[in-house]
Amino acid sequence: MHIGVIGAGQLGATLAEWCVESGHDVAVTSRHPERLGGLVGRLGEHGAAMPVAEAVAYGDAVLFAPDWPSAREVIDLAGDSLTGKVVIDATNPPEATPDGMSGLETLMRWAPEAHWVKAFNTLPASVLTRRRGHDPLLAEFVCTDLVDARLTASKLIRELGFAPVFAGRADTAKYTETGGPLQLTEVDVADATEVLAGVLGDYI
């Protein structure tokens, strides 16, 4: 699979490297793709740096990991290339978004033509690296309104060494984001159902 990775911070770069290790071809991008030579060098022949719109167009799926203040600008740079793409949102807004929406819902409002799904946002890259592939597998919570986005994200999560756990629709993503009860919480897959029940009650 071809993966576009938007954002070359610690999380985006780490996920890009793991995607290559898992057999995918990766296009990395940021607002300044010309500065990504070091990351591209680590990705080897299966990685390349591209402008935002080209990286999105290249990907069968897109990992969306810019810092939150850049998110709207990146979406504008991506333009029509987002249409129909499964976009895995790993961002966290720093505080509650307008109208009580989750960050994921805000992105959906900004780019409704994309197929958005929330994942890889609850824990920093350092924790993911420590837990990756180790038994018991770390639960990776997934929130989306769309079946194709859920399936694509879940497949990639498994390939990268974690256990996908569906945590609800887009409006429940706020529980995984900044200030939410699932943010910065390590949950083993065996405990995920119980943890979600405690957080969401009968919602799911």
DSSP-assigned letter for residue 54: H
Cβ neighbours of 155 (radius 10 Å) = 13
Mean model confidence pLDDT for the chain: 94
Higher pLDDT, 167 or 97: 167
Domain coordinates in residue numbering, the chain:
2-200
Look at residue 94 in the predicted model and tell me its pLDDT. 86
> Residues 164, 120: contact at Cβ < 8 Å?
no
Average pLDDT, stretch 178-201?
93
pLDDT tens digit sequence for 120-165 = 999 999 999 999 999 999 999 999 999 999 999 999 999 999 999 9
pLDDT tens digit sequence for 1-54 = 999 999 999 999 999 999 999 999 999 998 888 888 899 899 999 999 999 999
Average pLDDT, stretch 57-76?
96
Higher pLDDT, 203 or 117: 117
Look at residue 95 in the predicted model and tell me its pLDDT. 75
Check pLDDT > 80 for residue 108.
yes
pLDDT band of 204, cuts 50, 70, 90: very low
Average pLDDT, stretch 91-104?
83
Closest among 28, 18, 33 to 120, alpha carbons compared: 18
What is the rounded distance in angstroms from the CA atom of residue 140 to the CA atom of residue 65? Answer: 16
**Domain 2-200: homologous superfamily in CATH:** NAD(P)-binding Rossmann-like Domain (3.40.50.720)
Look at residue 35 in the predicted model and tell me its pLDDT. 85
What is the rounded distance in angstroms from the CA atom of residue 115 to the CA atom of residue 83? Answer: 8
Check pLDDT > 80 for residue 203.
no
What is the rounded distance in angstroms from the CA atom of residue 8 to the CA atom of residue 120? Answer: 14
CA dihedral (177, 178, 180, 181) positive or negative: positive
